[in-house]
Amino acid sequence: MRITAIRDIAVRLQGDAANAVVSFAEHDVSLVAVVSDVVRNGRPVAGFAFNSIGRFSQGGILRERIVPRLMAAEPAMLIEETGGRFDPAEVVKVAMRNEKPGGHGDRAGAVAAVELAIWDLNAKLADEPACVAIARAFGRAGPAASTSAYAAGGYYYPGDSAGRLRDELSGYRDLGFTAFKMKIGGASLAEDVARIEAALTVAGEGGALAVDANGRFDLDAALAYAQAISSYGLRWYEEIGDPLDFDLNRRIAERYDGAIATGENLFSAADAKNLLLFGGMRPGRDLFQMDAGLSYGLGEYARMIALMERHGFRRSQAVPHGGHLINLHIVLGLGLGGCECYPGVFQPFGGYPSACMLGGGEVRATDAPGFGLEQKPELRSLLAGLCPEAF
> Which are the catalytic amino acids?
183, 321
Report whether 225 contacts 255 (CB < 8 A): no
Measured in residues, the chain has a length of 391
- The residues near 156 (Cβ < 8 Å, ≥ 6 apart) are 17, 18, 19, 20, 183, 186, 187
- Coil, helix or strand at residue 180: strand
E runs forming strands in 119-259? 147-152, 180-183, 209-212, 237-238
- Coil, helix or strand at residue 143: coil
DSSP codes joined into one string, 77-90: GGB-TTSSSB-HHH
DSSP codes joined into one string, 274-294: HHHHHS---TTT-EE---GGG
**Packing angle between helix 219-229 and helix 246-255, nearest 10 degrees?**
30
Q: Which among 39, 9, 43, 233 is positioned nearest to 113, based on CA atoms?
A: 9
Q: Which among 298, 304, 360, 285 is positioned nearest to 332, based on CA atoms?
A: 298
- 293 burial (CB, 10 Å; 0-12 / 13-18 / 19+) is buried
Segment (H or E) for 134: helix 130-137
The amino acid present at 227, given as its one-letter code, is Q
Segment (H or E) for 33: strand 28-40
Q: Which among 268, 308, 289, 320 is positioned nearest to 96, based on CA atoms?
A: 268
Report whether 240 contacts 249 (CB < 8 A): yes
Q: For residue 144, count other CB atoms closer than 10 A to its CB.
A: 16
Tell me how far apart the alpha carbons of residues 166 and 174 are, in angstroms, rounded to a whole number.
12
